[in-house]
Amino acid sequence: MKKLFLYLFLFILAVTTSGCSEKASIVFNERPITKENVFDFSSVFIPGSRIYYLVIMPEVQQSRILNIQIIKKGDVEYLGYSLYMSRRIRLKDEETKYYTDYFVLNERGAYIMKVYSADKPKTPLTQAEFYVK
């Protein structure tokens, strides 16, 4: 009987404390992102090509302003990282849960893309790593 109560208690504890929280994410692609090719993501690109990206945000952002940074790894400017590109974007009315655009990088290397909300400028909503080879 004690084991039954123990298992029941552990089951209730596991159900109440383990919750799935949706987080923002970034998807990269070689072609413009549509509903048909959203799952054909890639993380390796050739120099000079367009890198399309989709930022998916499960929660509506209050400020509707995103700061996007592209950081190059491997340089020696600041502990091996250097800020390569930065953009400040205002979300439109229809872009409350996503944002899509593209950029072009001509230098080979490993990069990190970070997306910040203007509400919380010190903690990134999401980040993703990609390569230009």
Contact 32, 43 (CB under 8 A): no
* 77, pLDDT greater than 80: no
Tell me what the pLDDT averaged over the chain comes to: 83
Whole-structure pTM value: 0.79
Q: Cα–Cα distance between 25 and 55 in angstroms, integer? A: 6
Environment class of 5 (CB within 10 Å of its CB; exposed 0-12, middle 13-18, buried 19+): exposed
Contact 52, 100 (CB under 8 A): yes
Condensed to tens digits (0 to 9), the pLDDT of residues 8-57 reads 454 554 545 455 557 899 999 999 998 888 888 899 999 999 999 999 98
Q: Cα–Cα distance between 114 and 47 in angstroms, integer? A: 20
Structure tokens at 125: 């909503």
Fold annotation for 22-132: Immunoglobulin-like (2.60.40)
